[in-house]
Amino acid sequence: MNTYFRLLAFSKPYSRYLPEYITIALLSVIFGTANFSLLIPLLNVLFGTVPPPSNISLPEFHFSIQYFIDVFNYWFHYVLDMKGKAGALAFVVIIILICVFLSNMFRYWSQRILSRMRSTLIQNIRRAVYEKFLVLHPGFFQKQKKGDLLSVISNDVQEVENSVVTTIQVIFRDPVTIVAYFILLFVISAKLTIFTLVLIPIGGFLIGSISKSLRKHSTTSQSLLGRILSIAEETIGGAKIIRGFNAENFLRKRFDDENDHARKISKSIQNLRELASPLSETIAVAIVACVMIYGGTLVLNENSSLTASQFIAYIALYSQILPPAKNIASAFASVQRGLAAGERILLITDAPIDIINSKNATTNSSFTKNIEYRNVSFGYENFPDEKKEGRMALNNINTIIEKGKVIALVGPSGSGKTTFADLLPRFYDPSQGSILIDGNDIRNYTLHDLRKLMGIVTQEPILFNDTVFNNIALGIPDAKEEDVMDAARVANAHDFISRMENGYQSIIGDRGNKLSGGEKQRLTIARAVLKNPPILILDEATSSLDTESERLVQEALYNLMKNRTSIVIAHRLSTIQNADEILVMRKGEIAERGTHAQLIASSGLYKRLVDLQMI
Q: Give domain status of residue 234, yes or no.
A: yes
Residue 84's pLDDT band, with cuts at 50, 70 and 90, is confident
CA distances (Å), 586 to each of 200, 395, 397, 589, 594, in order? Answer: 73, 10, 12, 5, 15
| Candidate from 63-67, 164-168, 319-323, 421-425 with smallest mean pLDDT | 63-67
Residue 506 falls inside a structural domain: no
Residue 234 is which amino acid?
Answer: E
69-78, 244-253, 339-348, 444-453: least confidently modelled range: 69-78
Q: Which residues have CB under 8 Å from 6's CB, separation 6+?
A: 342, 346
Q: Which of 300, 121, 291 has the alpha carbon at shortest distance from 195?
A: 291
Average pLDDT of span 305-314 = 76
Same domain, yes or no, for 285 and 340?
yes
pLDDT for 490 equals 86
Picking from 387, 518, 510, 412, the residue whose alpha carbon sits closest to that of residue 457 is 518
Give the CATH number for residue 387. 3.40.50.300
Mean pLDDT confidence for 326-347: 76
Does residue 278 share a domain with residue 399? no
pLDDT value for 378: 92
Q: How many CA atoms lie within 13 A of 337 on its CB side?
A: 24
Cβ(394)–Cβ(422) under 8 Å?
Answer: no
Residue 66 has pLDDT above 70, yes or no: no
**Would you say residue 357 has pLDDT above 70?**
yes
Statement to judge: residues 303 and 344 lie in one domain: yes
Q: Is the pLDDT of residue 55 over 70?
A: no
Q: How far is CA 379 from CA 57, 393, 561, in A?
A: 89, 5, 31
Concatenating the DSSP letter of every residue in 60-83 gives PP-SSHHHHHHHHHHHHHHHHHHH
Same domain for 302 and 375?
no
Domain boundary among 288, 314, 349: 349
Tell me the pLDDT tens digit for each residue of 213-222. Answer: 555 555 566 5
Domain membership of residue 355 (yes or no) is: no
Mean pLDDT of 555-566: 83
**Cα–Cα dist 525/521, whole Å:** 6
Q: How confident is the model at residue 391, as a pLDDT?
A: 63
Is residue 329 domain-resident?
yes
Q: Are residues 300 and 442 in the same domain?
A: no
Q: Is the predicted pLDDT of residue 44 greater than 70, yes or no?
A: no
Identify how many contiguous H helices and E strands the chain contains and give both numbers.
22, 10
What is the predicted pLDDT for the residue at 203?
57
Q: Quick one: 244 and 369 in the same domain?
A: no
Integer-rounded Cα radius of gyration of the chain = 37
Strands (E), 458-558: 535-539
In DSSP terms, 590 is beta-bridged to 585
Asked if residue 354 is part of any domain, the answer here is no
- Is the confidence at residue 385, as pLDDT, over 50? no
Both 118 and 33 in one domain: the answer is yes
The residue among 540 and 157 whose pLDDT is bigger is 157
CA torsion 433-438-439-440 (nearest 10°) is -70
The predicted pLDDT at position 52 comes to: 60
Q: What percent of the chain has pLDDT over 70?
A: 79
Mean pLDDT, the chain, whole residue set: 79
Q: How much is the pLDDT for 398? A: 95
- Average pLDDT for residues 536-560, to the nearest whole number? 74
Contact 76, 33 (CB under 8 A): no
- Note the pLDDT of residue 594: 93
Q: What is the pLDDT of residue 387?
A: 46
393 and 316 share one domain: no
Nearest to 337 by CA among 566, 3, 565: 3
Quote the DSSP letter at residue 343.
Answer: H
Question: Tens of pLDDT along 263-298?
Answer: 887 777 777 667 666 776 777 677 777 777 877 787
How would you label 437-448 residue by residue, b for 16+ Cβ within 10 Å and e otherwise?
beebebbbbebe
Q: How far apart are CA 219 and CA 4, in angstroms?
A: 15
Q: Would you call 397 helix, strand, or coil by DSSP? A: strand
Domain identity same for 441 and 327: no
Q: In this structure, are residues 488 and 496 in contact, taking their beta carbons and an 8 Å threshold?
A: no
Give dist(CA 232, CA 206) in Å, integer. 40
CA 144 to chain centre: 15
Structure confidence by residue, pLDDT tens digits, 518-534: 888 889 888 888 888 89
Backbone φ and ψ for 186, nearest 5 degrees, come out as -65, -35
Looking at the fold, whether 323 and 384 belong to one and the same domain comes out as no
One-letter identity of residue 582 = I
CA angle 115/119/125 to nearest 5° reads 145
Task: Judge contact between 132 and 349, C-beta under 8 A.
Answer: yes
Residue 332 maps to a domain: yes
The last residue of a domain, from among 298, 323, 349: 349
User: According to the model, what pLDDT value does residue 50 have?
Assistant: 58
Q: Strand, helix or coil at 360?
A: coil
Q: Would you say residue 476 lies in a domain?
A: no
Return the top range by mean pLDDT from 174-188, 283-297, 494-508.
494-508
The neighbour count for residue 3, using CB atoms within 10 Å, is 18
Q: Is the pLDDT of residue 386 over 60?
A: no
**Structural domain ending residue among the three candidates 324, 349, 374:** 349
Q: What is the pLDDT of residue 467?
A: 92
**How much is the pLDDT for 436?**
94
SS3 378: strand
310 & 427 share domain: no
Looking at residue 50, what DSSP letter applies? P
Rounded CA gap, 423 and 438, in Å? 16
- Count up the domains in the chain and report the number: 2
Which amino acid is located at 510 in the chain? D
For residue 441, the cross-strand partners are 436
Verify cis geometry, omega within 30 degrees of 0, for the bond prior to 533. no
pLDDT band at 317 (very low <50, low <70, confident <90, very high): confident
Tell me: pLDDT of 402 over 90.
Answer: yes
8 and 73 both lie in a single domain = yes
Return the minimum-mean-pLDDT range out of 4-13, 67-76, 462-471. Answer: 67-76
| Domain hosting residue 124, numbered range | 2-349
Q: What is the mean pLDDT of residues 217-234?
A: 66
**What's 68's domain CATH number?**
1.20.1560.10
Residue 384: asked if its preceding bond is cis (omega within 30°), the reply is: no
- Partnered with residue 402 across adjacent β-strands are 370
Give the residue, 372 or 176, on which the prediction is more confident: 372
Is residue 378 included in any domain, yes or no? yes
